[in-house]
Structure 1
């Protein structure tokens, strides 16, 4: 899809590398610019997850890219990068605001030498404003944005989601912005500045409940653990005799039949929202009386909306997950067999595959510099002085 599009990535942590990997999966030629000591994610992994010294956190977000390892504090490095960017289609960066400007690689500077450049900045809160210098990190943004406060039962404390959902949504929005800008450039001949941030991503994840709130509909977390401040019951996860099951919105007449309880038939259509706690508690009282498998069989037969509550082992083994080919496996020369999530979208029935492994640090430095017309002797001299690594 993006064959022929050149991307230079100054990204680290998760939001930036994940956004860049989306473009790389689609065929873009991605150059990952790293310091000579390596990108942050090479030396960090959430649960100290390393495969023979290779960070799983790095391996999950940097496939199909090339690595240029360079000391960005060296004056000659900035000149080399400006030469590289003079012909690039996209620059994507996730430094704190103003960092790229201080390096001489800000948008205003680069658009003078490359007016077609699509320049994407990913940050925590935005490039300006009172929070621009705060650390932007997923769980912090979940808390600030209201997402944690909206999650959990009425008696539970505010509860962050158990994954870096804001980082990943911010990555997708960044990639979306880049693709839109590339499409616009086809008409105008000009690039533009694309900005995405974690705070905006977290708010976008809450497009529905925030719209209710903004228009005067106030909600409270449910004491019976309805998994929304605004939805009718039943809606959420319920204990069974031997585990849990998730049940989504089901009309009272259906509940009366499926649960063999005439009480539900006494709830009028105009009472369902006002009596949602009664409904939820009564559903819970029924579900705890049978096993999960018994309810799954009955709900399947009666076409009730439900889902199993899978742990990650069950997710990986789920028939639909396996059918969709969601897990990508590859053999790495150091880490051995690696399993990560693949590209989430199919095109003409196919998912983009693995063109190249997550690169070793500086693996492509020499090739990239040679593409800037540097001679082997010039490249050797840069390596010897520690300006680049490769």
Structure 2
């Protein structure tokens, strides 16, 4: 069960942002994911979307390419459709801005200028309004086109994957976390100074943040969490796979003992790797689940790929 499906989660129960209103103009994934986090923290969340194309219920492209994701991301969010290129749409935007504490956007800077949403203009009219701008890259590159895949590639997160797509949209989701954090920063800054602030969140930076462990060598082949440690790997078992995370010495000792090794065996030698692999190949998922519970070993069994 995911966080989205868990109504009793501590994250959802938190009401840190109760009494604040977040207005979002952000489409696709990072902005709506950030808005969802704010909504789960108690904020009153409003999203302005472009008018729906014929035959569609939403002007957000995500509603077309993943209706399930769109529905999950917008639960509890009030949706207002407005064409910001028209006088009527601008009037709707101005009314929402007047009631908002923080504006969340994901337009490129050039698009914000065309819509009259430069920070200087907003600050002059609503000095207490905060703004969080999700961009692809920071600074002078903010107008360059890009997407999650290109930011992951640039950060080195596709290393070793060949031409396979990544398992998740890591830059987008990390950017959403950073954007919701920026909302909190903007509110704290206003509480201290009485004035709104503008914070840029770059998806490129979010991807590089996620890639730091690889840059430090932690997840490369020579790193303990990159495959060098026999207690931290994914192995085949008799009826599937098993992700083993027996990294700390006391966990590794229990795994090695179960595999017929000395508890203090060197986890980096080929002999240790071979012995652990041979032991796990002969075990079923049910047997390994039972072993993990009995011996307090961190592992998770998986179906065959």
Q: Normalising by the residue count of structure 2, what TM-score does the alignment of the two structures yield?
A: 0.81
Q: Which residue, out of 2, 15, 23, partners 1:8? A: 23
Aligned position for 1:260: 260
d(CA) in 2 for partners of 1:159 and 1:282? Answer: 31
Runs of 4+ in structure 1 deviating by more than 6 angstroms, as ranges, are none
Residue 61 to residue 255, structure 1, CA distance change in 2 (3 Å)? closer
SS of residue in 2 equivalent to 1:67: strand
Does residue 201 of the first structure (1) align with residue 201 of the second (2)? no
d(CA) in 2 for partners of 1:241 and 1:190? Answer: 62
How much has 1:122 moved relative to structure 2? 0.8
d(CA) in 1 for partners of 2:242 and 2:24? Answer: 43
d(CA) in 2 for partners of 1:56 and 1:227? Answer: 38
Does residue 56 of the first structure (1) align with residue 68 of the second (2)? yes
Q: How many residues align?
A: 281
Q: CA RMSD in A?
A: 2.7
Higher fraction of helix: 2
Higher relative contact order (CA 8 A, sep 6+): 1
SS of residue in 1 equivalent to 2:23: strand
Contact 1:41/1:58, CA 8 A, preserved across alignment: no
Contact 1:5/1:89, CA 8 A, preserved across alignment: yes
SS of residue in 1 equivalent to 2:288: helix
Residue 81 to residue 235, structure 1, CA distance change in 2 (3 Å)? same
d(CA) in 2 for partners of 1:300 and 1:173? Answer: 36
Does residue 241 of the first structure (1) align with residue 256 of the second (2)? no
Output aligned runs, 1:1-390, within 5 Å.
1=15, 2-37=17-52, 38-41=58-61, 43-46=63-66, 55-126=67-138, 128-130=139-141, 132-149=142-159, 157=162, 160-210=165-215, 212-213=216-217, 220-221=220-221, 228-229=225-226, 232-250=229-247, 251=249, 253-262=253-262, 267=266, 272-273=267-268, 275=269, 277-309=270-302
How much has 1:104 moved relative to structure 2? 0.5
Map Cα deviations across residues 189-219 of structure 1 (whole Å, 9 max, x no partner): 0110121122111222234333x25xxx8x7
Contact 1:33/1:69, CA 8 A, preserved across alignment: yes
How much has 1:157 moved relative to structure 2? 2.5
d(CA) in 1 for partners of 2:172 and 2:73? Answer: 12
- Structure 2, unaligned stretches of length 5 or more? 1-14, 53-57
- Higher CA-based Rg: 1
Residue 247 to residue 84, structure 1, CA distance change in 2 (3 Å)? closer
How much has 1:247 moved relative to structure 2? 0.9
Aligned position for 2:8: none
SS of residue in 1 equivalent to 2:166: coil
Residue 70 to residue 265, structure 1, CA distance change in 2 (3 Å)? closer
Contact 1:8/1:85, CA 8 A, preserved across alignment: yes
Residue 292 to residue 230, structure 1, CA distance change in 2 (3 Å)? closer
How much has 1:220 moved relative to structure 2? 4.0
- Structure 1, unaligned stretches of length 5 or more? 47-54, 312-390
How much has 1:175 moved relative to structure 2? 0.7
How much has 1:287 moved relative to structure 2? 1.0
Map Cα deviations across residues 307-335 of structure 1 (whole Å, 9 max, x no partner): 22269xxxxxxxxxxxxxxxxxxxxxxxx
